[in-house]
Each structure stands twice: as structure tokens, then as C-alpha cells.
Amino acid sequence: MHVFSFRIAFIITIIIFVESIYSNSQFCSTLYTTTKQDQCPNPLSFDILEEYAKSLSSWKLNIPILKNESDIDIIEELKKRFDEGNSCPYVRQMNKAICCSGWEGPGCNKPENSVSQNLFSTCHVWGRARIRTFDGTYYRFPGSCSYKLIGSSTWQLNIQFINCTTTKTSCQKKLTIVIAGKILEVTGTNLINVTAYPSNLIIQRQETNFLDLYFTNGIRLKVHDQHQQTIIIQLDDNFINDQSLSGLCGDYNQKPDDDFKILTTGLITNTPADFGNQWKSSQSCPDASIVIDNCSITSEAIDACIALTNQSEIFQPCFNKIDYRYFYQACLNDVCSAKSENASINIARCQALEAYAEECREHDIYIQWRSNTGCAKQCSSPNMAFKECASSCRRTCQNPSSTITQCHTQTSECTPRCVCTNGTVYDSFRDECVQLEECTCQYNSIQYQPGYQVSIDCNDCTCDRGRWICTNRTCSRTCTVLGNMNILTFDDEHLINGIGGKGRKEKRRKGKCRKKKENVETGNCR
């Protein structure tokens, strides 16, 4: 009997806890003034001092109005109105419950500009095939086919979900980009099977756990974490209301209510499966079924996801901008599923927290949440530390004094990444942070250690601090540009990471090279 009572009490406690999170009413009291017209008081018994002394919450004559409406004495005006049977103005102040600043909705429990209403320029894919459309609709669609994620009449981005119906394995997302007559494939954070790059592509950043591609027609693709994969697609404003835009990411027409439109009928469905299945690349692939998260939520799941509630202060700075409740429910479901499948609970919860942190970053709210939640990121080098807001223009062996003005986009945008510490710089060939003196060099795709010498034409070049230092002999040979990280082309185009703003290819010209004892990248070729 006691055990039974304890279980009932435990279940009630969980229900009350969850309901308190979802109610989250934010009412504030404010004073407002109300007026009315009513019978005038008898001037023979009227005492103007008593009228002034009445509390603000009591009805009393609006004497300033009477003064403005009449040039005669107040008592004379009252007598005139009383004798003629005309009304008098009254006023009082009342307390009224309104939504506190930053909150809205009938129950004042919905943050202003929350994800269900805010119009984004991004589509977000994360975790077990969870998607947020450009117009702010959240849903889950773990289909097993290849689907149109987003695209228009001139380009298309397809996605294939792999092992996304279970928490036992990592949910992989394979991307295929068709643009400018070229096809690019992205697996994890790697570009694979690339035969030719589109002329409008700029690879802004490519590392072990991050890929950032920008197309000059206003499309940007970012992929975080090669194993768990968070995908972000950003579109410029010129795509808003582009009627040819469609896919799992929605239509970006600033109307969230029609995100689940079925193109063949024009009707709106409430079922993510019906909406998602229409974007299959191959109709022979079986339809995805309706996803039902029917796992029994336990106290363990509630404890694991508590950072995504108002019971925790970790994400409080973001709550007024991004409604946390969808992410909290997703966290509960994924943690519950992970437990039932004997998978990692921590991976499930950290994915939900990371997704919410990404939404906050879109609103320029950067929260150091990992150390307080057990979701610390491991970096590849001992001289590295993870930061939520690190410079997008890192110091490297090939560019040790890197500044924002030397980056492709010349932007101060910060991103979550591992950064070098203790005065070290990043060696991209080894994927680790080293002292500048330990930097390696590259020539013809071969890596060379510091101090190594190679002969180019009639000159000798030595690897020194990530750069080739060459002798100054005059050679009647082909002018060669060394390295693939920092290059000054014949056209004076400054390239970083081997790619420039206009996507030019490396050129070779015949002629004399006059090379002083300096970096080949800045040599004078003519």
C-alpha cells in the first residue's frame, strides 16, 4: 500500500513539474485609466475638497475636463448640467494584469519573437532528423530516402537521412548540392567526389568538425560535427517569396501556417510524414511513417533536460527570444528513447542543448553552456580549447597574423570552434596547434617539415615557419606559386585557403621570375 501511494505521489510530482514548466505565465500588473459619463452630483451637497481627496481607484469627477469644457466656475457648471439633466465626466484608475515585457499570448506564457512566430533566414536540421523551416515550423521527419531539402528552379540541395530512426547509432545526413551545372557531395563535414567546383563557390572554412560553404548567389551551408551533424542553410533576403523555392525547409514566404502545403492539391496537412514524403527524389523509395514519440517520460529524462527549462539559469538570457519548450520536449523524447534502446543518454541531451544554443547564436546570444551541462567538446590538440564564440578568422601557420580584413567575408562573425592557446597557431596539414617554429609547409600537395629544402627552377627554397623562403636567382622558367593557403596571384587577387572571392583558378605564365630572398607567395613575377 505504501509503495503504491509513493508511486502515485511520484507520478503526480512529475506531472506538476512538467505542467509548471509549460504554464510559465508571466503576468505583470499595470495601472490604466478608464472614464465614463454619468449623472452629475447635486451641487447643493457637492464638496469639491472631498472629491479631490477620493482615491485614484474610486470614480470621481474629472474636474480637469470640466474646466476645459467651461469658462464658468466648476460649481456653476455642475448646477447648470444638473438642472438641465446633462451628464458629467468621471474618471478612475485600475490595476490590470498584462503580459510582462518580452511575453505574449492569452496566458502570457509565450516569448515575444519566439520560434513559432519569428521569421528566420535559416533552415536548421539537427539530431534525429529534426527540422526547423525558414518560417519557424518545427517537426521531425526521419525518412530513409533522399529528399529535396531546399531548392529553386536553378539549384537544389538534397538530403539523405541514415540511421535516424534509432538512438543506437549516429544519425548521419548526406547532402548533395546541384548548382551551376556542378554536383557536390557532403558527408560529415567533408566534400567528396568533387570533379569540378562551381564558379560561384567560396569555401569559407573547412575543418575536421566544421564546413562552411558560401555561394555568391546568396546561399550558405554550414555543417557542424562530422558525427552528429547539425546542418544550417542560410538564404539572402532576395529569396523571400521566391515562388520556386520549396522542400523540407519550407517555402520561405513569411507564412508559417502554409509550411506543410501539399503541392499537388494545394491543401495544408498537419502530418509531417505526408509533407515530407512528397519531396522524395525517387518515388520507388518507400514512404516514411508518422513518427510517434510515445516513450514514458521518467524523472531521469526530466533531470537530464532541466537546463532547457526555467528551473535552470543556464539558458535564461535566451528565453525571451527563443521559446525553449520545443527543445525541452525533444530532449525528453530523445533521452527517453536512448534509455529504452540502451544508447547514450548524454549524446541525446547534448544534441538538444546544442540545437537550442545554435538558435540563440542566431540572435547574437552566446552562452557558455557546455561546462555546466557535461557536454564539453574534445579538441584534436592539447593546445586547443573550445569556445562558443571564436573568431571566424583564425591564426594559422600560413597566416600567423590573421586579421578580419584578411578573411574572405571580412566579417566579425564568431562561431563555435576549437581555438589555439598558449601562443600557438593552427597547422591545417596536421590538424593541431603548434609553435610557429614547428609549422610545416606544402608543395605539390606534399607536406614538408621545418628546415626542409626543395629546388624550384634554379632556386632553393627552405621551409621556415610555414612559408617557403627562396633564393633570388633569376630563372627563365615558368613562374610557380607555392603553397595553397596564402597566395598573391598575377591578378593581385589575395587568396586565403587557396580560394578567392571570385573563385579564380591558380594560373601559370611563362616569363622571368625575379625572386628576392622572401616568401614565394609575395614574389614579383612578370
Average pLDDT in the 482-490 region? Answer: 48
Angstrom distance (rounded) from CA 357 to CA 371: 13
Instruction: Give the pairing of strands 210-215 and 219-224.
Output: antiparallel
Cβ proximity of 475 and 457 under 8 Å: yes
Residue 33 CB coordination number (10 Å):
10
- pLDDT above 50: residue 485: no
Cα separation, 211 vs 190, in Å, equals 7
Counts of helices then strands in the chain (DSSP H, E) = 9, 30
Instruction: Map grid coordinates 544534441 to a residue.
Output: 351
Confidence bin at 280 (pLDDT 50/70/90) = very high
Per-residue pLDDT at 521: 41
Reduced to 3 states (helix: H, G, I; strand: E, B; else coil), residue 204 is: strand
What pLDDT, on a 0 to 100 scale, did the predictor assign at position 110?
52
CA dist list (Å): 525 to 495, 508, 517: 16, 10, 14
Amino acid letter, 11: I
- Note the pLDDT of residue 167: 66
CB atoms within 10 A of CB 286: 10
pTM check: above 0.75:
no
Q: How far apart are CA 419 and CA 408, in angstroms?
A: 19
> Within 10 Å of residue 217's Cβ, how many Cβ atoms?
16
Going from the C-alpha of 112 to that of each of 94, 330, 358, 367, the distances in angstroms are 26, 21, 18, 20
- What whole-number distance in Å separates Cα of residue 484 and Cα of residue 520? 12
Q: Which CATH number fits domain 384-438: 3.40.50, 3.90.930, 2.10.25, 1.10.3470?
A: 2.10.25
Provide the terminal-to-terminal Cα distance of the chain, rounded to the nearest Å: 94
Cβ atoms of residues 439 and 466 within 8 Å: yes
In this structure, are residues 132 and 327 in contact, taking their beta carbons and an 8 Å threshold?
no
Query: For 297-363, what is the HEC assignment?
Result: CCHHHHHHCHHHCCCCCCCHHHHCCCCCHHHHHHHHHHHHHHHHCCCCHHHHHHHHHHHHHHHHHHC
Q: How much is the pLDDT for 399?
A: 75
Would you say residue 202 has pLDDT above 90? no
pLDDT the model gives residue 440: 92
pLDDT beyond 80 at 161:
yes
Residue boundaries of the structural domains of the chain: 27-99, 122-277, 299-362, 384-438, 449-525
pLDDT: which is higher, 453 or 171: 453
Find where cell 516569448 sits. Answer: 111
* pLDDT reported for residue 523: 39
Topology, domain 122-277: Protein Transport Mog1p; Chain A (3.40.1000)
Q: Which amino acid is at 168?
A: K
Q: What is the C-alpha separation between 95 and 28, in angstroms, rounded?
A: 10
Least confident of 132-141, 338-347, 496-505: 496-505
> If you average pLDDT over residues 390-408, what whole number do you get?
67
Model confidence at 88: pLDDT above 80 = yes
Residue-level pLDDT at 409: 44
Burial classification of residue 273, based on how many CB atoms lie within 10 Å of its CB (0-12 exposed, 13-18 middle, 19 or more buried): middle
Q: Give the 3-state secondary structure of 452-478.
A: CEEEECCEEEEEECCEEEECCCCECCC
pLDDT at position 18 over 80: no
318 has pLDDT over 90: yes
**Tell me, what's the pLDDT at 476?**
65
455: pLDDT strictly greater than 70: yes
Query: What is the per-residue pLDDT for 509?
Result: 42
Place of cell 600557438: 424
d(CA 306, CA 512): 68
Q: Do residues 350 and 305 make contact, with C-beta atoms less than 8 angstroms apart?
A: no
pLDDT computed for residue 423 by the predictor: 87
Q: pLDDT averaged over the chain? A: 78
Q: Residue 232's closest CA among 218, 208, 249, 244?
A: 249
Nearest to 402 by CA among 388, 416, 389, 390: 390
Question: Does position 501 have pLDDT exceeding 80, yes or no?
Answer: no
- Mean pLDDT of the 340-352 span: 88
Q: Is-contact 149 247, C-beta < 8 A?
A: yes
In this structure, what C-alpha cell is assigned to residue 153?
A: 528552379
pLDDT of residue 71: 60
- Using alpha carbons only, give the angle 386, 249, 391 rounded to the nearest 5 degrees: 25
* pLDDT at res. 416: 82
Which three-class secondary structure state does DSSP give residue 404? Answer: helix
Distance between CA atoms of 216 and 218, rounded to whole angstroms? 5
What per-residue confidence (pLDDT) applies to 96? 73
Residue 507 has pLDDT above 50, yes or no: no
pLDDT at position 9 is 43
DSSP conformation letters of 436-453 = GGG--EEETTEEE-TT-E
Average pLDDT value for residue range 199-210: 80
Task: With a cut of 80, say whether residue 108 has pLDDT above it.
Answer: no
372 to each of 299, 306, 312, 350, how far by Cα in Å?
20, 12, 11, 11
Q: What is the 3-state secondary structure (H, E, C) of 66-92?
A: HHHHCCCCHHHHHHHHHHHCCEEEEEE
Q: In angstroms, rounded to a whole number, what is the distance separating the alpha carbons of residues 484 and 478?
A: 18
Reference 518, options 468, 477, 478; nearest CA is 468
Region of poorest pLDDT, from 167-181, 400-414, 500-514: 500-514
3-class secondary-structure state, position 266: coil
pLDDT at 503 over 50: no
13 has pLDDT over 50: no
445: left (phi over 0), alpha (psi -120 to 50) or beta: left
Closest by CA to 373, choosing from 321, 331, 326, 320, is 331
Distance CA 309, CA 291 (A): 24
Provide the pLDDT confidence category of residue 303 given band limits of 50, 70 and 90: very high
CA angle 147, 150, 155 (to 5 degrees): 105
* Residues composing the chain: 526
Residue 364: what pLDDT? Answer: 86
Q: For 112-135, how does the pLDDT look when each residue is reduced to its tens digit (9 = 90+)?
A: 544 334 445 899 999 889 999 999
Half-sphere exposure of 165 (CA within 13 A, CB side): 8
